[in-house]
Each structure stands twice: as structure tokens, then as C-alpha cells.
Structure 1
Amino acid sequence: MADPLTRRRLLALGAAGAGGLALSGCDRLSGSPAFRSLLESAEDAHRASQRLLGGGALAPEFTAADLSPQFRANGNRTAAANAEWARHAATGFARWHLRVDGLVLRPLDLSLEALGSLPQRTQITRHDCVEGWSAIGQWTGPQLGHVLKAAGLLPAVRFLVFHCADRFGADPYYESIDLMDAFHPQTILAHTMNAAPLTVAHGAPLRLRVERQLGYKQAKFVQRIEARATLAGLHGGKGGFWEDRADYAWYAGI
């Protein structure tokens, strides 16, 4: 399928340019309190306008004929440096469990079998990477909303944090979304890609798919979901690995 220069594509390219600027050494500009305040205000306006114009709208879905012949693996290709993850990988994740905790009534430990027993959603969507490339893949897994309802969120919850098994140096990878995206019908915990178990390079055994946001929000190697009232005090305090390290926007809606 041709990849027209749609609004989603333009936003992905724009974000790539912004990310490149942040990473290329514009320290004086990015370190300016006034400039950072301007960026944060723009992000807030972007989030508010997108939600106002269709916060519950679905991302475009495609057909099997549109699947990309190659779907690049972004970010870390393995979490083997994490000894616990490596032990589970060696046994095909037979005894692996997803932990759901934080501000919940019923903390959960869910095996892949238990996740597979929940109602499943399959969707064919486009992954738009902040680096400027995109690919179309098929994903299957339970809707995150079903898992959260089983855990029972407390009234104070505003964010869901995804703690991952992989690291960049000493820093663990993590991401977060708010409740609107958490309960969006296309937000799923994918264990299957293109009708086969998720590969290691693509985040086995479980990754987040939050289809209305850019690729860096699609956390791989998810091992724990934490319900929180605030992101303050968590790692760098900005709600995600790249948000902390490179000032990427916390809300990466497309």
C-alpha cells in the first residue's frame, strides 16, 4: 500500500525533526526556561485540541493485504541484560506473569495464558516512528481496559505506568498514558504480531499498543503496570524514558 503524506505522517516527520533537534546539541535553546515553557504549552494545546476534535476516534485500520513486508524493530531488540526476563525467555515465558498494581483494589499477576483467556482484539494499524519511518502490522491481545477493570482502579488514579524489562545503560525503560488512552478500544496488550507470538525484537512476551500515539509510546517488554495518581517522583518525573532523557513530548498523539 502506498504511504500518502497524511496528517499522521506529517506529524511523525515533525516529531522526528523536533527529536533530532533535542538530541543534536541545541543545549542553550532547550535549556532555556522560557523555551521549555513554550514547548510544554504547545503540548498541552495539542492534547486538548485533539481530544476536543475526537478523543475517542479510532486510528485508521487496514487489511491483511496492506501488511508491511518488513516491520522494523524499534528501540532495544532484547532485554537479555535483565536476568529475570532472560530466565523466562529461556523457557518460552511459560511461568512469566504481568504484574498489575499500584492504586488498585485487586493487584493481579497474569500469565500469558490468563491474558489470552480474556476477550481478544485484533487490529491492523500503522506504527509511526519518531525517526520518520512507518510500518503496518497486525496486533492481537486483550484491551487494556479489561485488565484495568479486573484490577479495580481507585478513584485517585490518573495515569498508568508501564515498567519494562529492558534498559538503556543504568536507566530502565518505562512509559505512561492517561485514563482516556488507557480505556480507548484500540489500546491493547499485544502478545501476538502478524498471527504469530510476539518476537523478542518486537518486545516479547508483551507490549503496549496505543495506536493514536507515536511509536516510542508503544512500550515493549512490559512486565508491570502501575496505577498512579501522579507522575511526580517517578524516575525523571516526565512520564517516560525519552521524555526524561530527550524532552520528547509526553503526549505523542497523531
Structure 2
Amino acid sequence: MRKLDISRRRFLTGATVSAAALPLSGCFDAAGQRDGTVRNVLEIANSLTYRVQRLLLSSDSLAQEFPESEIRQAQRPNGTTNPQDANYLAHVAKDFSDYRLEVTGLVEQRLSLSMDEIRNMPSRTQITRHDCVEGWSCIAQWTGTPLSALLEAARVKSQARFVVFSCMDSYGNGRGGLVPYYESIDLADARHPQTILAYGLNGRSLPIANGAPLRVRVERQLGYKMAKYISGIELTDRLDGHGLGNGGYWEDNGYDWFAGI
């Protein structure tokens, strides 16, 4: 099973390198072009069904972790690097002192947690590789609270199937307006031991460019699944009530929902 995992990771990350000569300025720029080279590679890579991909990625398999000696550069940001949304700027001005993470939806106990409360929960530190659809990768150390700890505290209801992340950054909707970024994963990934809500990067507080105050790390998926600037987590049994119903901002723009590697 591990051999299959490695082969899929190498295909997804290695195949996109062939498009690296394109003039890419951000993790998503060229991939967002529906007829572009990167987009075509993604469609081929993601042609496997969700069920088949889940068979390739067993529920207990771990993404590779590395020694500190492999951290050779700062973590390259992906996506938005400096949100200008009014609510986010208000939090930045107060150094996130009044920030609350809301956990809602199909739970027995709704949560509203400050950053101090989140930092006081059990933590996990892991050195992993971020793989971007653009073809680049970067190894960094991430520290945060396992998402499973929050789900346990919230007591997830049996009918829940997905975790939806609401974010404090916005993207263009293609019609001249802006829509809040959102993303989602299934409960198998949400409860995976390496899925954390990261507030630390390489031994320091998470920088704004990398998603402060909180971002999710889903180490067995591609970078666009790792939502930044998280403000809320909703447990749900369906995804059609969010955005255009495809499970994430980039999925609403043609990306595959499951990006396991």
C-alpha cells in the first residue's frame, strides 16, 4: 500500500514539473486557467474516482516526515499572502487577541475558541513537505492542534461526513465581485493524526503570508486543500450549501475535490 501511495504522490507532483517553465506567479495562477497546461495535467491526475483514491490512501498511512536538516529555506506562501478583508484587518490590528474559532454544524457541543485556548490544547509538531499544483514543494516544520481533538471536544454527530473551513480571505468570483475562500475535507482526513490546525511555522508564530492565525495542514493532500486564515469549521453531511456546491473555491472553478497524494 505504501508503494502505491508514493507512486501517486510522485505522479501528481512530478507531472506538474513539466509545466514549470510557464510564467507562473502564484500557486494557483496558471492552474486556474481551465484550458492551460497545468489544468490539463490536474484533470488527468484526478481522473481516479474518490473511492479508488481512498483505496490507494489507507486511513492510517502517514505522509513522510523529515529531519530538521531538510528545512533549507523559508516556507514559500501559496494562495493569498496579505488579505485585505475588513474583518481580517481588524484582527491583525489587535494581534488576533479577539479572534475566535467557531465550530458549528452537526455537533453536540458548539465551540468558540480563542487562540490561547487552542494553543493550550494538545499539540503536534511535524516536519512535512508541501506539494503545490504548480510543481514546487517545500519542507517545513508545522506546529498546531490536531483537528481530531477539536472534533472530539465538539462531539461530532453520526450523520456528519465533511468538515468545511470558512476563511477570512476573498477571491474573485469571475463576475467582478469577491467571494470568501472556503475548503472542505472528509472525516477520514479530518481525523488523520497529521491533520492539524497550525499556528506555528519553523519554531515561530505562523506569519500572515502563511495563513495566520490558523491554517489547516492536510499532509496527504495537495496545497490548495490546506485552507488559510480560518475563522470557522462546520460539520455537515453535504457540500451543496456552500459556495457553488463543489466543496471549495478552487473546486467551484474546475478543480477536483479530492486531491490525495
Task: Decide which of 133, 137, 146 is 2:136's aligned counterpart.
Answer: 133
Report the Cα distance in structure 2 between the residues aligned to 1:40 and 1:226, rounded to whole angstroms.
Answer: 26
Aligned amino acid, residue 138 of structure 1 = Q
Report the Cα distance in structure 1 between the residues aligned to 2:16 and 2:147, rounded to whole angstroms.
Answer: 26
1:124 to partner: Cα distance: 0.2
SS at match of 1:118: coil
CA contact (8 A) 1:13 1:131 kept: no
SS at match of 1:42: coil
- 1:189 aligned residue: 197
CA contact (8 A) 1:43 1:249 kept: no
- 2:260 aligned residue: 253
1:32-65 deviations in whole A, cap 9, x for unaligned? xxxx9x99862325423323xx231110000111
| Cα separation, partners in 2 of 1:111 and 1:17, compared to 1, 3 Å | farther
Aligned amino acid, residue 68 of structure 2 = A
SS at match of 1:77: coil
Task: Decide which of 146, 149, 159 is 1:143's aligned counterpart.
Answer: 146
1:22 to partner: Cα distance: 6.6
Matches within 5 A, 1:29-48: 42-48=48-54
Computed over aligned residues only, the root mean square deviation of the Cα atoms, in angstroms, reads: 2.4
Tell me, which stretches of 5 or more residues in structure 1 are unaligned?
1-5, 31-35
Matches within 5 A, 1:44-83: 44-51=50-57, 54-79=58-83, 81-83=84-86
- 1:106 aligned residue: 109
Tell me, which stretches of 5 or more residues in structure 2 are unaligned?
1-5, 20-27, 173-177
1:146 to partner: Cα distance: 0.3
CA contact (8 A) 2:118 2:145 kept: yes
Aligned amino acid, residue 90 of structure 1 = A
1:139-169 deviations in whole A, cap 9, x for unaligned? 0011000001101111110000001000113
Which stretch of the first structure deviates more once superposed, 119-128 or 17-26?
17-26
Matches within 5 A, 1:166-185: 166-169=169-172, 170-185=178-193
Task: Decide which of 114, 122, 127 is 1:124's aligned counterpart.
Answer: 127
- 1:33 aligned residue: none
SS at match of 1:201: helix
Whether 1:84 and 2:91 are equivalent positions in the alignment is no
- 1:205 aligned residue: 213
TM-score for both structures, normalised by structure 2? 0.84
Identity, % of aligned positions: 45
CA contact (8 A) 2:46 2:259 kept: no
